[in-house]
């Protein structure tokens, strides 16, 4: 899938519109720029299978760089823009990137890479809209390059690094198709083809360096759909962007729903979101009550899928089916589902175990054969460590991540249930529940909460919140105590960096 046919048919149609700046790139402009950059890649010696690291915030150049790399047969490696130079250098080195494309907004990080890379900077270094010693300046560096395609186009792919919430990020690498781009369907082509209408306007509210925003936005562009990109997510700004650009479709994460629902009712209701036809959410489990509130507000158009960066399989559930199976993430869309116990035995409906997919795409964790092997079982079925169960109708329900499980007094506790309940409290903006060391029980359950109004963070309210939770949840699943933070350490796709909280709230070792 390519943008070329749309550039030829509708060159002046907006491909990307940035919000709130309003900067726009048309399909004609994106096609020409991607071709020029592809020529630069080839002139610099980059060939099929090489990697290009991309360190760019949500701006008008991000997709151009990805399209250029993709039509050169390169692995494109989006890097979290919040990482420091050492952290970004690890990914550049681990992926063996032969090029790095960065933006002037991240100039300080780019300048610090050289000191952190054991094998030196990649051979091709490009900074966008700025200057840096030893780096080519874009777009000046491609001004003399043809706007026509390179002669040897071949399909590349995303090389995504995990968010690293439990350690060093891992590269997720798939074999390239070794085919011309015109012969390769996009990863989400089938879903987008029937889910969106030809005249759709899509909103991408999350950072593009994450897997889903990158894959979805590239696919919507390949389908000729105008994509509104939020430069940074803001709850009220998101509603304004929907209203301003008459957005019809979008892909969100649950924490964004929570942020929008916590806006004052008069603010929330002042925006016209009647243009919305369907929205999708994923990346993290959505509390049932939060989703019910979204459906009450936006209508039964809030669909959901479950997948992973590894692309081992996926499920899908439309809002209409979810209303009769609340809490489910749906039935398989790609790959067959298996729920296994710790010994690899298949579990019956209603019993939670590790989720495995049969089929789906193959992958490896780059330079980590041990982790790759652990993601497979004896059948070759693959897992990313999520826990869940199937109901009698074959619908999947997520319980939690395996590494989030708390073992207290020999009892397995999945904290997601308490977290989901806590965020439904009107005064709670966000919540984290996790295990901390306990001499008697092994681990005890700890809760940390971010409030809508930080002034209410008192010991009295902590006790009130605990009592409220115990009225709604079995006591052993509830935290023994609740503390408050001004903001919880989440990734932009809603995943909690629980290790930071565990370290902060664990008791000091004795003896």
Q: By the 8 A CB rule, do 177 and 155 touch?
A: yes
The per-residue pLDDT for 53 is 98
- For residue 165, pLDDT over 60 is answered with no
Instruction: Give CA separation, 333 vs 188, 312, 380, in Å.
Output: 11, 11, 19
Contact in structure between 221 and 63 (CB atoms under 8 Å): yes
Confidence check: pLDDT of 507 > 90: no
| 182-202: average pLDDT | 80
Q: Please give the helix or strand (H or E) that residue 289 lies within, else none.
A: helix 288-298
Output the pLDDT for position 109.
Answer: 97
Q: Kindly report whether the peptide bond that precedes residue 485 is cis, defined as omega within 30 degrees of 0.
A: no
Strand pairing class (124-128; 171-173)? unpaired
Could you read off the pLDDT of 271-302 as tens digits, one per residue? 999 999 999 998 777 888 889 999 999 999 99
Neighbour order of strands in the sheet with 51-55: 136-138, 124-128, 99-103, 51-55, 75-78, 157-158
pLDDT tier for residue 190 given thresholds of 50, 70 and 90: low
> Residue 187 above 70 pLDDT?
no
Q: What is the mean pLDDT of residues 364-383?
A: 92
Percentage of the chain modeled with pLDDT above 90: 75
Is residue 372 predicted with pLDDT exceeding 60? yes
At 331, is the secondary structure helix, strand, or coil? strand
- Beta-strand ranges (E) seen in 410-463 are 411-413, 428-438, 442-451
Compute the distance between CA of residue 255 and CA of residue 82 in angstroms, rounded to an integer: 19
Residue 300 is predicted with a pLDDT of 97
pLDDT in tens, 35-90: 999 999 999 999 999 999 999 999 999 999 999 999 999 999 999 998 899 999 99
For residue 477, the 8-state DSSP code is G
**Domains in the chain with CATH codes:** 27-183 (3.40.50.12780), 408-505 (3.30.300.30)
Q: What is the pLDDT of residue 490?
A: 84
Q: Read off the pLDDT of each residue in 232-250 and give the average, rounded to a whole number.
A: 97
pLDDT for the residue 385 = 87
pLDDT for residue 450 is more than 90:
yes
Confidence category of residue 164, pLDDT binned at 50, 70, 90: low
**pLDDT of res. 511:** 45
């Amino acid at each position: 899938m390519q943008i070329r046919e749309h550039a030829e048919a509708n060159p002046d149609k907006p491909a990307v519109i940035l919000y709130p700046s309003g900067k726009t790139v048309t399909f004609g402009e994106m096609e020409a720029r991607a071709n020029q950059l592809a020529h630069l890649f080839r002139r610099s010696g980059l060939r099929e299978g090489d990697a290009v690291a991309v360190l760019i915030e949500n701006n008008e150049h991000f997709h151009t760089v990805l399209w250029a790399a993709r039509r050169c047969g390169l692995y494109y490696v989006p890097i979290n823009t919040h990482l420091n130079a050492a952290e970004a250098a690890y990914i550049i080195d681990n992926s063996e990137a032969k090029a790095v494309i960065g933006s002037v907004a991240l100039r300080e990080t780019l300048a610090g890479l050289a000191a952190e890379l054991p094998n030196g900077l990649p051979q091709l270094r490009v900074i966008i809209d700025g200057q840096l010693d030893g780096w080519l300046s874009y777009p000046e560096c491609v001004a003399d390059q043809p706007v026509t395609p390179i002669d040897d186009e071949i399909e590349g792919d995303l090389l995504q690094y995990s968010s690293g919430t439990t350690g060093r990020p891992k590269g997720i690498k798939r074999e390239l198709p070794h085919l011309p781009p015109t012969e390769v369907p996009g990863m989400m082509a089938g879903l987008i083809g029937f889910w969106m209408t030809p005249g759709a306007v899509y909103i991408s509210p999350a950072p593009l360096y994450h897997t889903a925003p990158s894959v979805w936005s590239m696919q919507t562009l390949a389908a000729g759909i105008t994509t509104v990109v939020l430069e940074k997510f803001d709850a009220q700004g998101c509603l304004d962007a929907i209203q301003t650009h008459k957005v019809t479709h979008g892909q969100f994460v649950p924490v964004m729903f929570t942020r929008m629902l916590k806006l004052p009712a008069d603010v929330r209701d002042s925006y016209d979101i009647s243009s919305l036809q369907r929205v999708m959410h994923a990346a993290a489990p959505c509390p049932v009550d939060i989703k019910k509130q979204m459906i009450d507000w936006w209508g039964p158009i809030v669909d959901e899928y479950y997948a992973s960066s590894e692309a081992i399989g996926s499920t899908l559930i439309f809002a209409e089916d979810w209303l009769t199976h609340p809490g489910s993430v749906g039935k398989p869309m790609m790959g067959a589902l298996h729920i296994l116990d710790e010994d690899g035995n298949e579990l019956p409906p209603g019993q939670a175990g590790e989720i495995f997919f049969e089929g789906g795409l193959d992958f490896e964790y780059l330079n980590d054969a041990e982790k790759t092997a652990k993601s497979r079982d004896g059948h070759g079925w693959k897992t990313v460590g999520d826990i869940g169960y199937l109901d009698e109708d074959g619908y999947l329900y997520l319980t939690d991540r395996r590494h989030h499980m708390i073992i207290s007094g020999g009892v397995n506790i999945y904290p997601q249930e308490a977290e989901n309940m806590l965020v439904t409290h009107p005064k709670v903006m966000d919540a984290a529940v996790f295990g901390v060391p306990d001499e008697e029980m092994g681990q005890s359950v700890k809760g940390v909460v971010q409030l809508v109004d930080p002034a209410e963070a008192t010991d009295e309210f902590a006790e009130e919140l605990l009592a409220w939770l115990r009225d709604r949840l079995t006591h052993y699943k509830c935290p023994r105590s609740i503390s408050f933070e001004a903001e919880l350490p989440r990734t932009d796709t809603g995943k909690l960096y629980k290790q930071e909280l565990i370290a902060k709230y664990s008791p000091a070792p004795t003896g």
